[in-house]
Amino acid sequence: MTEADEVFMKKTDKSHVQYSEIEDLYDRFKNGEVILGVGEEVQKLINDLSDDKLDYSNNTVIDMIIKKVLDKCEDEKLKSILENSKIADIENAETKGRAYPKYFDGSYYIEIDRNYMKRILLLSDYLATVNMLCEQDLIFEKNKVNIEGLGKIPILKSFYSLFIARFLDICLDRFLKNEEFTNDYNEILMKLMAFEKEYGTKISDMFVDRSNNIYEAAIAMFVGHEIGHHYYRHTDEKIKEAEIKRLEDTYRVDSIKAHQFFEYNADAYGTGFAVEYMRSQYTEKTNTVLIHQMVGIFIPMMIMMFDADDLFDDEKKHPALIKRFLRIKKSLESRTDEETIEEVMYYVYYLFDVLGIRKKVSQLGV
């Protein structure tokens, strides 16, 4: 066993992440700390998760993404990497994500930080509420058959707008505090349940559906970046050193610039990986990815930009965050049409304003 293997094995949390979280949630529900809806349904979920078989990760979402990509994968090289992946969602990781060198057992290890995953989820929730507010007319059109007394629709729309606006503030507060179950969040969920019971709407289902779509896209991008390092063999020291020498000789760059080039490659790979996952998972008939899903691709980078003091300076072997952001945007542009990109960037720049990122990049005029 190599030293790196031993470190990885010791740091890996072997538990099923979602199973542990839902058990903790159910205990808090019984103590009156959170609102989960019907306790029996939650208990059923616990039972289902206890039988869940995870092949590639201790995180259900990551495992699902890998399996779905494998179902449609025609790239034999990627297929081999995914079939031999071991992706650990662990607490207190040293970095947000890391791809380890290929190990003696032929596995491709990736380590991701659980707290970073949580922050991605919280920002996904916020973006879902933004999307629901922007699309309220379409939402009411689709759900009006479930509303008794169509004459009440104008009043309901006003109530819905106020409700979602409040929900918006609460979800932003959760992200800023890095806290999933705040008192305000529990309270508004109770109001939502009452509203749905009276008017027969399915706002909570729409919220969960949108948030899940965004979160999965963000995680596919995040994990896809690390898979990209394996795909381009950046984790193979001999091949990496040979590629660094080639870049130095060809482009007259130093070793640090060469490593930054690797990060651009991994970002582009992660973008493509996320887009292909969304197309295979949600759009088998139309081959169209929804706008809010594509915005999810930018969420991992936006969190890093939110945390950073400086977006313009390179950080050792990693390029400046603003450079990486623009490269991701360019990569996405090559995979969709101009109109779609314009809508996606509307949401992205809105989040820039809300999170204070635009102030950091104002000198670029975005």
DSSP string, 99-146: EPPPPTTS-EEEEEEHHHHHHHHHHHHHHHHHHHHHTHHHHHHHHGGG
Between CA 180 and CA 107 the distance in angstroms is 34
β-pairing, 108-113 with 97-99?
A: antiparallel
- The residue ranges of every structural domain in the chain are 3-16+54-115+211-364
One-letter identity of residue 47? N
**Would you say 73 and 32 are in contact if contact means Cβ atoms under 8 Å apart?**
no
Q: Tokens in use for 225? A: 């970046």
Q: Which amino acid is at 334?
A: S
pLDDT means per 10 residues, the chain with 366 residues, are 49 53 57 52 48 76 92 93 90 87 78 94 95 72 48 61 88 96 88 76 81 95 96 87 86 84 95 91 60 94 94 89 96 92 94 92 60
- Provide the pLDDT for residue 20: 57
Q: 81, 106, 109: which is closest to 93 by C-alpha?
A: 109
How high is the pLDDT of residue 217? 96
- Cα 56 from Cα 54, distance rounded (Å): 6
The residue count for the chain: 366
Phi, psi of 18 (to 5 degrees): -65, -35
What's the confidence (pLDDT) of residue 195? 75
Q: How does DSSP classify residue 152? A: G
Distance CA 329, CA 349 (A): 12
Query: Could you report how far apart the first and last alpha carbons of the chain are, in Å?
Result: 49
Q: Find the largest Cα–Cα distance for the chain.
A: 74
pLDDT for 9: 58
Distance CA 144, CA 137 (A): 10
Beta strands at 85-90 and 108-113: parallel, antiparallel or unpaired: parallel
> What's the rounded Cα separation, in Å, for the pair 295 and 65?
18
> How far is CA 343 from its chain centroid?
19
Task: Read off φ and ψ for residue 336, nearest 5 degrees.
Answer: -155, -175
The answer to whether the Cα torsion of 183, 187, 188, 192 is positive or negative is positive
Residue 280 burial (C-beta neighbours within 10 Å; 0-12, 13-18, 19+): middle
How much is the pLDDT for 247? 85
Name the region of 356 (left: φ>0; alpha: ψ -120 to 50; beta: rest).
left
Query: DSSP 3-state assignment of 310?
Result: coil
Query: Can you point out the beta strands (E) in the chain?
Result: 85-90, 97-99, 108-113
Taking the C-alpha atoms of residue 135 and residue 142, their distance in angstroms, rounded to an integer, is: 11
